[in-house]
Amino acid sequence: MSSDNTRLGYIGLGLMGGPMAQRLAAAGFPLAVWNRSRDKLPPLTAAGAIEAASPRAVAERSDIVFTCLTDTDAVETVIFGTDGVAEAASADKVLVDFSSMKPDKAKEFAARLRAETGMGWIDAPVSGGVPGATNGTLTVMAGGSAADFARVEPVVAHLAGRFTLMGENGAGQSTKLINQMIVGAGLALMAECCQFAEDAGIDPAKLPQALAGGRADSPILQQFLPRMAARDRDVQGRVAIMVKDLNTVMESARQLGTSLPLTGLAAEIHKLLVKQGLGDADNAATIDLYAPPKH
C-alpha cells in the first residue's frame, strides 16, 4: 500500500499507460483514470481505480496527474481542449507527462499551463517498453523544476528503476530523443547482425551469450537479437512510434544545425518497415527487411 494519500490521476491506458496505472493502483494510491476508448478501463476499475468522465474530471480528483499519450496533438487536446486538465488545474497540482514529443512543445505547453493555472509540469518520457512498464523498471528522463520533481519522485519510484532530472522543461524530451537515436540505430544494426549470422551459418540466438561482457554487449543486443532470431511477434513497442520519434530527432537536429547521418539512415529504414505494412508490428520486426518471417 502507498505511504500517503496523494490522489493520482492517469490519462492514456495504452500499451505503456495501462500497466503503469495498474502499478499505481496496486500500490494503494487513490486513482482516477480516463481513456479515449473505454474498453481499456475495466482492468483498472477492477483494481480499485475510479473511472472519470473526462480529463478535467481526472484533474479534479487528483493532486498529481499522469498522462501517457501517442503524440503532441493528443497531449494538447487532453490538457488544453474542452473538458481538459487545464480546466481543473491549480498551483497545488502537478502534471507528469510520460508521452514523447518535440522538446520545444514540451517547453511551450509547460509554460502555458503554469501561466494560465499555476500547475507544474514535468516532461517525463520513458524507456523500457512494456516489460519495464509492467515490472516498474522503466528509465524516466525528466524536465521541469526541482521542486516539482521532488514532489512526484516518490510516486514515480513505483514505476521506474531510474528517474533523472535532466534540466528545465524540454530537457526530458531531448534526452528521450537521444535514447531513441541509440535504440533506433541499434535495432537496424541488430537486424543486420542477425541476418549476417544466419547467412554465415551461425545461430544468431547464441550471439548475446557469446558477446556478453564484451564491448559489443548492450541491452539492445541482449533483448532484441534473440527476438529477431526467433521472429518473435509479441508487440512490446511499435515501429510507428519509433518512426515518430526518429522524425522528431531529425526535425530537432535541423533546428539545432546538428548533422545526424546515422540517425537519418535509421529513420529511413524504419519508414521502409511502415511502407511494408509493419507500422503496428513490434520493433523486432526490423529483421523482416532482410528475410521473410519464419513459419
Residues catalogued as catalytic: 176
What is the C-alpha separation between 163 and 140, in angstroms, rounded? 5
Q: What are phi and psi of 161, to 5 degrees?
A: -85, -20
Question: Per DSSP, which regions of 50-173 are E strands?
Answer: 50-51, 64-67, 94-97, 120-123, 126-127, 138-143, 160-167
The grid coordinates listed for 294 are 519464419
What is the C-alpha separation between 55 and 36, in angstroms, rounded? 10
What is the C-alpha separation between 63 and 152, in angstroms, rounded? 10
The grid coordinates listed for 221 are 543486443
What is the C-alpha separation between 287 and 153, in angstroms, rounded? 38
Residue 192 contacts residue 201 (beta carbons within 8 Å):
no
- Categorise residue 62: left if φ over 0, alpha if ψ from -120 to 50, beta otherwise: beta
- Categorise residue 128: left if φ over 0, alpha if ψ from -120 to 50, beta otherwise: left
Residue 67 contacts residue 11 (beta carbons within 8 Å):
yes
The grid coordinates listed for 130 are 512494456
Q: Which long-range contacts (CB under 8 A, 24 or more apart) does 186-189 make?
A: 186/218, 186/220, 186/221, 186/224, 187/220, 187/224, 187/242, 187/266, 187/270, 187/283, 187/284, 187/286, 188/265, 188/266, 188/269, 188/270, 188/286
β-strand partners of 167: 143
